[in-house]
Amino acid sequence: MSSPLFPQHVIAIKRDGAALTREEIQSMVRGATDGSWADYQLSAMLMAIFLRGMTIEETVALTDAMMRSGEVADLSRVKGPKADKHSTGGVGDKVSLHLAPMIAACGVAVPMISGRGLGHTGGTLDKLESIPGFRVNLSTDEYAAQVGRIGLALIGQTSQLAPADRKLYALRDVTGTVENTPLICASILSKKLAEGADVLVADVKFGRGAFMKDKATARELAQTLVSVARLMGTPMRAILTAMDQPLGRTVGNALEMIESIDCLQGRGPADTMEVTFVLGQEMLLLTRIAKTREEARARLEAAIANGAALKKFREMVTAQGGDVRAIDDTSRLPAAKWSVPLVSPRAGFVQSVDAMSVALAALHLGAGRAKAEDRVDHAVGVSQLVKTGERIGPGAVLAMIHANGEAALAGARALLTGGIVVGEGAVALPPLVEEIIG
């Protein structure tokens, strides 16, 4: 009979820099799920992992144990391939909203479990909830049935999905152990692999408005995600994308929803569509719906041009209780009391649009949350944002500020004025999509 694994012994193994066995990792994850490890023991273990690191085998074992700490969706009854996409989060990143129906329109089911905005990044669920009546809290059974019926569901994390991650993430948040590649990888993949997709694509962002500020750290995370997913039997690719300026021209929940509807109608901003097509191409290649990137791109463009992607989006909104009339008549979405232009005092070239300043302006207006329990204002945010490199005349609108309060408007104006720099010289833009990994 094997001897019981005492938390203090397992912690000491990692503290001394050795690799943990699968059983030791499982005992820690079980302890996080059933409460048999105290918070101080879990916190000590997280710090030991943070300082000593984990091998790829340990990261696989951690991901697997966290995934199995709750329900793993059974989508075996859904016919055909299933793909999902994950973004590490950015400013103005509304890609999931229109990419999911585009992929579903190409014959690939999309079972997507998304998050809410926290801190400076927005969340897909908050954007969807700007559609009156839209329900994101389906049960796992309702979710599986909807994916089977219409090939698409976009919901929030259920309490049964990877509960160990919920516990460990809350502890990481207050113990300075968030920024660690094996822990981030296990956290992301334990949730994504539990939702039942056959293949995964990740958008790993780097830059001023991203979770990871530098490219090298983002690349390391992307490589770890792809390796761990593959070792667990799920083909995956990751793209590295720049997040120094916001994606698209809107930041804020209903405003981003409107921009996503524009994308589905073929009127999306160039940068947003570039990221959308690159992610979509990899999803169609991994599911073997397309043989080449050119073929994949043509299918995605056709899904927009022939209205199939917009039709899928309508089906999803209807299935999840949303007011489908808001898609054609966006005045049915929440709108702010004031829409005020921020005007450029000078002509020239836009030198930079700092994603973090725009995110803070949106947060100040009430579009995001500082704490998980905060409520968001779906109406407020920023639209008509200029893009880095654009030439503008005197008096040009740099952005429209949508506000529901005077103090919030003044604060957002100050943040945007500091974050959008206009100067003399033309600006050379670095590539938006830096690399495809996997």
Q: Decide whether 201 or 379 has the Cβ nearer to ligand URA.
A: 201
Q: Decide whether 32 or 309 has the Cβ nearer to ligand URA.
A: 32
Q: Which residues of the chain form contacts with ligand URA (CB under 6 A)?
A: 169, 184, 187-188
Nearest approach, Cβ of residue 135 and ligand URA (Å): 22
| 95: Cα within 13 Å, side-chain hemisphere | 29
Enumerate the β-bridge partners of residue 392: 348
Indicate which residues carry an active-site annotation. 86, 165, 172, 187, 191
Q: Decide whether 187 or 224 has the Cβ nearer to ligand URA.
A: 187
Q: Decide whether 158 or 187 has the Cβ nearer to ligand URA.
A: 187
Q: Any idea what the Cα angle at residue 277 is, between residues 219 and 133, rounded to 5°?
A: 100
Q: Decide whether 165 or 315 has the Cβ nearer to ligand URA.
A: 165
Taking the C-alpha atoms of residue 352 and residue 366, their distance in angstroms, rounded to an integer, is: 24
Nearest approach, Cβ of residue 399 and ligand URA (Å): 28
User: Which residue's beta carbon is nearest to the bound ligand URA?
Assistant: 187
Q: Which amino acid is at 364?
A: H
Nearest partner of 201 among 140, 112, 105, 122, judged by Cα? 112
Nearest approach, Cβ of residue 380 and ligand URA (Å): 25
Nearest approach, Cβ of residue 187 and ligand URA (Å): 3
What are the residues whose beta carbons fall under 8 Å from the beta carbon of 287, sequence distance 6 or more? 81, 82, 83, 108, 198, 199
200 neighbors 192 (Cβ within 8 angstroms): yes
Nearest approach, Cβ of residue 169 and ligand URA (Å): 6
User: In 118-214, which residue ranges form alpha helices assigned H by DSSP?
Assistant: 124-128, 140-150, 163-175, 181-194
Q: Decide whether 33 or 187 has the Cβ nearer to ligand URA.
A: 187
Taking the C-alpha atoms of residue 227 and residue 236, their distance in angstroms, rounded to an integer, is: 8
**Helix (H/G/I), strand (E/B), else coil: 123:** coil
Q: Decide whether 187 or 260 has the Cβ nearer to ligand URA.
A: 187
Nearest approach, Cβ of residue 87 and ligand URA (Å): 10
**Helix (H/G/I), strand (E/B), else coil: 324:** coil
Q: Decide whether 27 or 177 has the Cβ nearer to ligand URA.
A: 177
Structural tokens at position 23: 């059983």
Enumerate the β-bridge partners of residue 352: 421
Nearest approach, Cβ of residue 172 and ligand URA (Å): 7
Nearest approach, Cβ of residue 180 and ligand URA (Å): 8
For 331, counting Cβ atoms within 10 Å of its Cβ (0-12 exposed, 13-18 middle, 19+ buried), the class is exposed
361 neighbors 398 (Cβ within 8 angstroms): no
DSSP letters of 146-163?
HHHHHSEEEEEPPTTS-H
Nearest partner of 101 among 265, 345, 340, judged by Cα? 265
Taking the C-alpha atoms of residue 397 and residue 383, their distance in angstroms, rounded to an integer, is: 10
β strands within 275-396, DSSP E: 338-343, 348-353, 381-383, 391-392
Q: Decide whether 169 or 338 has the Cβ nearer to ligand URA.
A: 169
235 neighbors 189 (Cβ within 8 angstroms): no
Q: What is the pairing mode between strands 433-437 and 338-343? A: unpaired
Nearest approach, Cβ of residue 168 and ligand URA (Å): 9
